[in-house]
């Protein structure tokens, strides 16, 4: 099981390390022309970092489902390890990769801790639906919070169902559907 740190904790450390008081934050500001904190690009980077653990296991299982004989056959045909990875293993591991992408996306939709820490709540820039739901609850507008939560729930279920469907379809075509 992968180590998953609380997103707020990771968000805090990313806020400190990417902010204008750190050497990394100052260097990135010189390179990009803006701070990454409280900016969409920083929010995207933080979301990727926090959600990596959700992607590792499906990708790992996708590659584990490839029989060693397939790799051996590619080596016997004179394929380099890089060519084997690109032309044999990646296409066969595709169901695991698709599952990882979709799970990560679905988890990111409802992410709150790292979004608030690194991105803040800037309308049109870093405000997400999870933060909007929080704002509605704080304003005691439970009806709006409930509607937005329902939309997020339905979207997440649709995304997960799509991932499951694609994983099964691609898995059957490749012959490796033990994922």
144 falls within a domain: yes
Phi, psi of 37 (to 5 degrees): -70, 145
Instruction: Check residue 149 and give its pLDDT.
Output: 93
C-beta separation of 99 from 58 below 8 A: yes
51 falls within a domain: yes
Question: Could you read off the pLDDT tens digit of each residue along the chain, which spans 179 residues?
Answer: 555 667 678 888 888 888 888 999 899 889 888 888 888 888 888 888 888 888 898 899 889 989 999 999 999 999 999 999 999 999 999 888 888 888 888 788 778 788 888 888 777 777 788 888 999 999 999 999 999 999 988 988 888 888 777 667 665 544 444 43
CA atoms lying within 13 Å on the CB side of residue 30: 5
Which one-letter DSSP state was computed for residue 175? T
88 falls within a domain: no
Which one-letter DSSP state was computed for residue 128? -
111 falls within a domain: yes
Range of the domain at 155: 7-66+93-174
Q: Please, is 72 exposed, middle or buried when counting C-beta atoms within 10 Å of its C-beta (0-12, 13-18, 19+)?
A: exposed
CA atoms lying within 13 Å on the CB side of residue 79: 17
122 falls within a domain: yes
142 falls within a domain: yes
State the Cα angle at 46 between 41 and 51, rounded to 5°.
130
Beta-carbon contacts of 133 under 8 Å, excluding residues fewer than 6 positions away, are 145, 148, 149, 152
Phi, psi of 59 (to 5 degrees): -65, -45
116 falls within a domain: yes
Instruction: Check residue 179 and give its pLDDT.
Output: 39
pTM check: above 0.75? no
Question: 141: domain CATH number?
Answer: 1.10.3720.10
Which one-letter DSSP state was computed for residue 58? H
149 falls within a domain: yes
Number of domains in the chain: 1
Instruction: Check residue 170 and give its pLDDT.
Output: 60
CA distance 143 to 137: 9
């Amino acid at each position: 099981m992968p180590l998953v740190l609380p997103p707020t904790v990771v968000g805090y450390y990313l806020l400190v390390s990417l902010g204008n008081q750190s050497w990394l934050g100052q260097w990135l500001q010189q390179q990009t022309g803006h701070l990454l904190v409280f900016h969409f690009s920083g929010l995207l980077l933080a979301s990727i970092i926090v959600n990596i653990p959700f992607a590792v296991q499906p990708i790992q299982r996708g590659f584990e489902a490839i029989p060693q004989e397939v790799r051996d056959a590619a080596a016997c045909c004179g394929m380099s390890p890089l060519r084997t990875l690109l032309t044999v293993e990646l296409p066969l591991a595709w169901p695991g990769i698709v599952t990882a992408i979709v799970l990560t996306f679905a988890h990111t939709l409802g992410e709150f801790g790292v979004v608030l820490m690194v991105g803040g709540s800037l309308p049109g820039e870093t405000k997400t639906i999870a933060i909007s739901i929080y704002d509605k609850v704080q304003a005691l507008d439970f009806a709006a919070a409930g509607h937005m939560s329902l939309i997020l729930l339905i979207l997440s279920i649709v995304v997960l169902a799509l991932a499951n469907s694609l994983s099964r379809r691609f898995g059957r075509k490749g012959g490796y559907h033990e994922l």
